[in-house]
Amino acid sequence: MRHILDRQRRAPAVVALVSLLLMLASPFARAATPAPNPNNKPAQGKHYVVGTDTTFAPFEFRSESGEMVGIDMDLLRAVAKDQGFSVEIRSLGFDAAVQALQSKQVDAVMAGMSITDARKKVFDFSDAYYDSGVQFAAPKASSVAKLEDLRGKRVAVKTGTAGADYADSVKGQYGFTTVAFSQTADMVNDVTAGSSAAYVDDYPVVAYSIQQGAPMKLVGDKAPAGSYGVAVNKGTDPELIEAFNQGLANLRANGQYDQILAKYLGAQGTTQRSGFFALLADTFPTLMKGLAITAAAAALSIAIAMVLGIAFGFLKVSGNPLLNAIASVYVWIFRGTPVLVQVFFFYFGIPAVTGVTLTALTAGVLTLSLNAGAYMTEIVRGGIQGVDRGQMEAARSLGLPYMKSMTKVVLPQAIKIMTPSFINQFIITLKDTSLLAVIGLAELTYMGQQIIARNFRSFEMWLIIGVIYFIVIGLLTVASNTVDKRFNK
């Protein structure tokens, strides 16, 4: 009984002590626990970089003013405004956007990306924002009217899409083969040229291309396919997924979602095509913006390549085995691998390993500089070794030191030998900038792809772009030859 009374007398003291400790700890507990969001907007105030496709109208494409528009783009901006976060959109192409997400160059991908079980193992998806289907299409004048007519023929598909998966699943049944392309416009061009009998893509994309004047007809019925969602890397950015889901629900509730869909999928009739010169006038400002970026990237790359070429060229003729080996390895690596592989390595590979992200321009200039620098190295080596050895021996016999003999006697003659090759390398580098379109650099070729995605007039656009390249390179060649003649007079 006494022990029980003792415990009863000690109880108020224990309670008081615990209460005191809780009071002392409460400020620290409040500081460690984040304040709840009063508006229930988990991504409010945050900034996200979202990768998207370049040519997937009506979901993402560029308007005549150059702005990224489409169902995906309008929905993303509307959700961001509703949920209070900011967004930067990077137009990369579907495959490149997915690689950019995996290498953490972007935070999310919104590019008409179908939600599949295989992708769920790698990515987390938002709620579906559009239920799609896949559709076959063939030229209007074609005899292909149903899938059975494709037996023994070739069908164009788009890499990594639900349409490609569906075509692969039924090609054995209908007896056709498939060929993969990276863009919708390329599939349409392949079919228009007669290389493939039909192509398959998401139904809204096929319908939109026909609305814009593509000479195609629907073949067979629309087949069910997956729904589109926003993707993030597995286990990352749950706030973005939650915010998108909440914003999407709000847009559906207030009618804004239906307005966006009607804007791009409404019955507007077939667009009438303008003439060639009207097309040239409409697209010329956009193409000139791309040409300016092309020229800037090429000029910067060739300037850096000149420095690298001269430095490593001297290493190759230095006579030091170690220095010669360093220069040789550099040349072997960058002359022995394709430029496209190098672009992907610097833009996707380096960030995946180091966590340091590079802009498209930085990665592009770095690639072209190192690649052109390797060729410049061999040009410098060949120019120096092309000067008769007796010139160096004569200079040294007159008492001139090695470096003065090189700069005063050998190099002036070597430069005359190297100049034509330097001009040729500059032209090659200018043309190589077109490869940077694969990482979303808005140079001339990329701008042409964006225009074709909007109007599907590939023959005329590639003709215009080809003429622009021809004129620019021709003018550069004339100017370079004039300088060469005066310099080496």
CATH number of the domain that 189 lies in?
3.40.190.10
Same domain flag for 392 and 449: yes
Q: Which residues contact 413 (CB under 8 A, 6 or more apart)?
A: 387, 391
Alpha carbon distance 56, 78 (integer Å): 19
How far, in Å, CA of 340 to CA of 357, rounded? Answer: 18
Burial class (CB in 10 A: 0-12, 13-18, 19+), 271: middle
Axis-axis angle for helices 184-192, 458-487 (nearest 10): 100
The whole-number average pLDDT for the span 451-462 is 80
Task: Look up the CATH number of the domain holding residue 454.
Answer: 1.10.3720.10
Residue 19 has pLDDT above 70, yes or no: no
**CA distances for 409 relative to 11, 48, 327, 476, angstroms:** 102, 58, 24, 30
d(C-alpha 97, C-alpha 415), whole Å: 44
Same domain as 121, residue 91? yes
* Shared-domain flag, residues 447 and 329: yes
Could you tell me which residues come within 8 angstroms of residue 183 by beta carbon, excluding any fewer than 6 positions away?
54, 55, 93, 158, 449, 453
Structure tokens at 288: 């000139």
Task: Please tell me which residue, 115 or 226, carries the higher pLDDT value.
Answer: 115
| pLDDT of 230 | 95
* Helix or strand run (H / E) with residue 228: strand 216-228
Q: Is residue 87 part of a domain?
A: yes
The 3-state DSSP composition of the chain as helix, strand, coil percent (nearest 5) reads 65, 15, 25
How many separate domains does the chain show? 4
Confidence of residue 149 (pLDDT cuts 50, 70, 90): very high
Report if residue 154 sits inside a domain: yes
pTM of the predicted model, to two decimals? 0.70
Same domain, 106 and 142: no
Angle between helices 360-385 and 411-432 (to 10 degrees): 150
Same domain, 399 and 415: yes
**445's tokens:** 């070729």
Predicted pLDDT of residue 267: 53
Neighbours of 12 (CB within 10 A): 9
How is residue 219 annotated by DSSP? E
* Span 389-411, pLDDT tens digits: 777 778 778 878 877 777 778 77
Strand partners, 139: 216
Classify residue 403: in a domain, yes or no.
yes
222-226, 239-243, 332-336, 337-341: segment of lowest average pLDDT: 222-226
DSSP string for 131-149:
EEEEEEEEETT-S--SGGG
Position 118 scores a pLDDT of 87
Is the domain of 414 the same as that of 356? yes
Q: Do 124 and 135 share a structural domain?
A: no
Provide the pLDDT confidence category of residue 273 given band limits of 50, 70 and 90. Answer: low
Taking only the tens place, the pLDDT of each residue in 32-72 is 333 334 457 888 999 999 999 877 888 988 887 778 889 99
Shared-domain flag, residues 332 and 390: yes
Could you tell me the two tokens for 406? 């090189």
Q: Is 346 in the same domain as 450?
A: yes
The percentage of the chain sitting over the pLDDT mark of 70, rounded to a whole number, equals 90
Q: What is the mean pLDDT of residues 76-92?
A: 94
pLDDT of residue 469: 94
Q: Clarify whether residues 293 and 360 are in a common domain.
A: yes
pLDDT of residue 300: 95
Token couple for 49: 């970089």
> Quick check: is 104 in a domain?
yes
Query: What pLDDT, on the 0 to 100 scale, is given for residue 22?
Result: 36
Question: The domain containing residue 202 runs over which residues?
Answer: 130-228
Q: Apex CA 119: angle with CA 118 and CA 121, to 5°?
A: 75
Asked if 79 and 178 sit in the same domain, the reply is no
Do 134 and 200 touch, CB atoms closer than 8 A? Answer: yes
Asked if the structure places residue 267 within a domain, the reply is: no
Q: In one letter, which amino acid is 406?
A: M
Q: Is residue 341 one of the residues assigned to a domain? A: yes
Give the closest residue to 106 by CA, choosing from 93, 94, 120, 90. 90
CA distance 79 to 244: 6
Same domain, 15 and 116: no
Q: What number is the average pLDDT over the span 88-109?
A: 89
The DSSP secondary structure of 10-62, one letter per residue, reads HHHHHHHHHHHHHHHHHHHHHHHSPPP-TT--TTTT-EEEEEE-SSBTTTBEE
Query: Which pLDDT value is given to residue 281?
Result: 86
Find the mean pLDDT for residues 270-297. Answer: 82
- The predicted pLDDT at position 274 comes to 66
Distances (CA, A) of 481 to 186, 293, 387, 475: 37, 24, 22, 10
Q: Specify if 124 maps to a domain.
A: yes
What whole-number distance in Å separates Cα of residue 399 and Cα of residue 57? 72
Query: What's the pLDDT at 297?
Result: 94
In a domain, 417, yes or no: yes
**CB 292 within 8 Å of CB 359:** no
Which tokens belong to 326? 């360093």
CA nearest neighbour of 488 among 375, 407, 412: 412
Nearest to 40, CA basis, from 236, 232, 246: 246
Q: Looking at the predicted structure, is the pLDDT value of residue 244 above 60? A: yes
Considering the chain, what is the average pLDDT of its residues? Answer: 84
